[in-house]
Amino acid sequence: MLGLVQGPAELLPVSSSGHLVLVPRLLGWDYARLPPEVRKTFEVALHTGSSPALCVAVRRVGAGDLRSLGLTLLAPALVGGLLEGTIERRLGGLASVGAGQLGGGAVLLLSDLASEGRSSPDLVDHLAVGLGQAAALVPGVSRFGAALSAARLRGLSRPASLRLSLRAALPVTLAASALKGTRLVKGDVPPDLHRPLAAAFATALLSSVASLPLLGLLERRAVLRALALYRVALGIAVLARARDST
């Protein structure tokens, strides 16, 4: 189930990590009560399953300037290295994810109100996208959505913003999956998790590949606005749920 959610949530600016928190909680699954290391193991498998689809998407839009893309890695790498543990401990609950969805959706909506702008990103655009991805370390914000919002706020056109955001998302996703995967391999994964992890990886891979055509819809303003409004509504609903449960 989570693998099926992962595909479209990873390829759309709606926060896959946020949905991986919200779906089990809102449906009342026991998943949220599992040990953190078990949930992290599943999330690594899911994100790794999405990576081949991101590679295909980036190949379609072009690799771009690799030197400039290095700037998009700087901010998330620094923030992740310094604050990853704190973020995971304090910002994984319903309220923080709901706030991330609400805030991220509102910024995405406002940023896309801008008129069509430049078609070629500069170094500052890459740095702005990197800062957006750093903010998306908070579950619910959406790495793709934050990068897209930053690019649009910098004055890039929608197609150019989509291309830059996709190119920037791939190295961060691959690096995060490799880092967390290496940590997990050093530990002992219980044998009874092997088959569920394989199922998570396989379904995430299939759903991500099947979701690739959705990327073409993102150049339409109506689609982006609908996704932004969905995130705002979801964030409000989640915050209300979190308030009622306290």
**Whole-structure pTM value:** 0.82
pLDDT band at residue 98 using 50, 70 and 90 as cut-offs: very high
How many domains does one find in the chain? 1
Q: Which residues of 140-177 are buried (b: 16+ CB within 10 A; e: fewer)?
A: bbbbbbbbbbbbbbbebbbebbbbbbbbbbbbbbeebb
Query: Could you tell me the residue range of the domain that residue 94 belongs to?
Result: 2-245
List, in sequence order, every residue forming a beta bridge with 156; answer none if it has no partner. Answer: 118
Q: Which pair of tokens denotes residue 149?
A: 């919002």
**How far apart are alpha carbons 173 and 72 in whole angstroms?**
12
Summarize pLDDT for 190-215 with one digit per residue, the tens.
777 888 888 999 999 999 999 999 98
Q: Which CA distances in Å does 173 have to 23, 43, 53, 142, 229?
A: 21, 12, 11, 12, 25
